[in-house]
Structure 1
């Protein structure tokens, strides 16, 4: 995937116009895990939604293997921070939703859905409804639903922000284990420095609004990573680099009166 000179302006030409993204460019190689981190309001989610095709930039381009991205779907799937499950559907029905839309037959759907339900550790919960699940379990359903449509690219918008810290750390490890078996390209939005370092091959560091990618940090720590990885001195060094970046950008926000 590549994106070049993206500009996104909300309410263009109106008194309340907001220049959300300015001349944003980057390249994401197949199989990479990319995290995007920056101060609040810098346009992280706007960038993710633009890469998905949900938002059309006023200028610039997004493409996969040279083909322009103009709408969601196809080779991409989104995992949302608020789970986005249908409360009237069971776990099985939620995971199967995208496959049903694609017109898959019942046998293929059943085998496929149960494979991913087992993969996220929810075997035995397939007939439960979202209100019967914990926050972590709901997010597992959202991840299984995204994997089930077999996208090449997973777009994850702060998927662990609504769950407790202990569950969050477990989910980080489990996602990495899943990705070892299911080779995907992942673009991941987070506010967590720890999460960005633990999961990523590279981290895009964004500026205050209008958002720009002002650094591209390679996390040179081999996979597989475990919670013990967080004790490595180089791990702490990467966290310090990102923290210093965020501290500088938040200071700029205060100076501009936008924080």
Structure 2
């Protein structure tokens, strides 16, 4: 039986900021990986290791100095409809209502008003915001704003959802609720997710695999499979295997942060 081809693969990505200048920063070094359809991939590493740089490069927002990215065998040259980003700061337009924010990408696609309304209301209901479609961002809690961002990303029907620390700005209780909600939505909509987080607990709870990164210049040094079946609930966090994964990742991060101290970078 022939193995499935990866939905996304990236090879030997190098990103250098201010190349050739005295303040040159080598952010990513030879980063490579494969992502398969339906996976939830988390990227975790020490602060400043290039996690967000990698995610933005995969989206096509940053052009690498060397290396290549493919989605379904087609080379990524920039942002495209096969990918959508959810940002940590919500990135909502404050002058637009919930409905208008979710509809934004669909309007850029030139969809009909009926199609827009049907799609927008489907995703507003999906994230539990029905009845709030006429509200503005300043009238919403942090968790509700993040739900709008997730609905907006799903509405354009991307193959891959890229999430850059989407829960970092919300409280711990809401964060745990959102983790379960994102998994439910992901499986219901049959999406593939690439997720940046600083939280070991969050990465283990959500992920099918985790890419562990080194200190800058960031490299992926381990592709860790999380062998805990879905669906996952808060009770999953009590499993001995769950705690073993957390300890393994903590030891990796501790070693990398120690290297940062030794190099005088912290």
| Class of the TM-score when normalised by the shorter of the 2 chains | over 0.9
Q: 1:225 & 1:16 partners in 2: Cα distance?
A: 45
The equivalent of 1:219 in structure 2 is 226
- Residues in 2 aligned to 1:76 and 1:220: alpha-carbon distance in whole angstroms: 26
Aligned to 1:206: 213
Match of 1:43 among 26, 31, 50: 50
Q: Does 1:170 align with 2:186?
A: no
Instruction: Identify which of 93, 116, 135 aligns with 2:123.
Output: 116
Gaps of 5+ in 2: 1-7
CA-CA distance at 1:160 after TM superposition: 0.2
**Is the aligned partner of 1:4 residue 2:11?**
yes
In the alignment, is residue 131 of structure 1 matched against residue 131 of structure 2? no
1:185 to 175, 186, 192: 192
1:67 to 74, 77, 84: 74
Taking the aligned partners of 1:180 and 1:67, their CA distance within structure 2 comes to 25
**How far does the alpha carbon of each residue in 1:59-81 deviate from its partner, in whole angstroms, 9 at most, with x for none?**
01011122110111210000000
**Which residue does the alignment assign to 2:3?**
none
Distance 2:234 2:79 in 1: 34
Task: Report the Cα offset of residue 242 of structure 1.
Answer: 0.4
TM-score if structure 2 supplies the norm length?
A: 0.97
Runs of 4+ with >6 A deviation: none
TM-score normalised by L of structure 1: 0.99
* Superposition CA RMSD, Å: 0.5
Match of 1:159 in 2: 166
What's 1:256 paired with? 263
2:99 to 92, 97, 107: 92
CA distance in 1, matches of 2:70, 2:186: 23
Q: Distance in 2 between matches of 1:56 and 1:180?
A: 31
